[in-house]
Amino acid sequence: MLELTQISKHYGDNAALLPTDLRVERATTVVLIGPSGCGKSTLLRLIAGLITADSGSIHFDGTPVEAATIRQLRQRMGYVIQEGGLFPHLSARANVTLMARYLRRDPQWIDARLSQLRELVQLPADLLESFPAQLSGGQRQRVSLMRALMLDPELLLLDEPLGALDPMIRYQLQKELKLIFAQLGKTVILVTHDLAEAAYLGHTLVLIKDGRIVQSGPFEALSRQPAEAFVEEFIHAQRGPLEALTGGGT
C-alpha cells in the first residue's frame, strides 16, 4: 500500500527525520509514536505531500508521491489534525462536504454520504448546522473525521487527533475509533505520543527517537523484546496509563 525508502528531512542543520524505510500494508493501523519532536509528525506530513523530502522516495500503490501526482493522490487520502482543523466560518455540514462540492459530486450522493458518516461517528443531525465554535472538542473531532472520510479515502492519516481532549472524552473516542477502523477496513497511519493509545489502536507501532525508527512491530514485541534501552524506558514511563486502557500489564 505505502512504501517509504530512505526518506529524510532537514530544517537547516536540524535533522527532523534521518533516512528512513517504512512499509505500510493495506487495511492495517500503523501508529507512529515517540517523544515530542522525534519526527513522527514530519513523517506523516511527508506521506501526505504537505512537505517535500530532502532524499528518498514515497510510493502509494506504486505511484510516487511527488509534485506531479500529489493532487490526485490526496483525493485518496483523508487527513485529521489535532483539534480538527475545521474552518471556523463554515458550518459542520459545509466543512464535511467542502471537497465533495469542489469536485462537483452529485448532491444526492453528498447527502447520502453525509448521513452515512454522521451515523458512523454518532453525531446528532441537528449539529450539522452548527459552527465549530459552537461544538465541543469531541464533536469537532467527529466532524473532522467525517470530513476526512467524505471521499471514501483508501488511506487515513491522523496527527494527534485526540491530543487536545480531556481524558474522559479521549477515552470514549479511542473506543469509537477502534470500532470505526475495524468496520471500515481502511489503511490508517496515526501519530501519538501516548503509548496506551498506540497499543490500543495499532496493529503495528513504530517507535521513533531523534528522527530515526528505533523499533517497529506489535506492542507485545516492543514490550517483551525491546531493541534497545530507550524502548524499555519509554514503555515503563507510561505503564500506568497503558494498564488502565488495555486492562492488563505489559
243 compared with 229, residue with greater pLDDT: 229
Q: Are 33 and 193 in contact (CB under 8 A)?
A: yes
pLDDT(242) > 80: no
Whether 8 maps to a domain, the answer reads no
Confidence of residue 250 (pLDDT cuts 50, 70, 90): very low
Domain count for the chain, please give it: 2
Residues 142 and 167 in one domain: no
User: And the C-alpha cell for 242?
Assistant: 497503558
Residues 57 and 171 in one domain: yes
Q: What angle do CA 106, 111, 116 make, to 5 degrees?
A: 125
Order across the sheet with 14-24: list the strands.
14-24, 2-11, 55-60, 63-64
**Residue where a domain terminates, one of 129, 152, 175:** 152
The model's pTM is 0.91
Query: Per residue in 132-150, pLDDT tens?
Result: 999 999 999 999 999 999 9
Residues 168 and 72 in one domain: yes
**What pLDDT score was predicted for residue 243?**
59
Residues 195 and 245 in one domain: yes
Whether 225 maps to a domain, the answer reads yes
Whether 13 maps to a domain, the answer reads no
**What pLDDT score was predicted for residue 230?**
95
Residues 196 and 167 in one domain: yes
Residue 39 sits in a domain whose CATH number is: 3.40.50.300
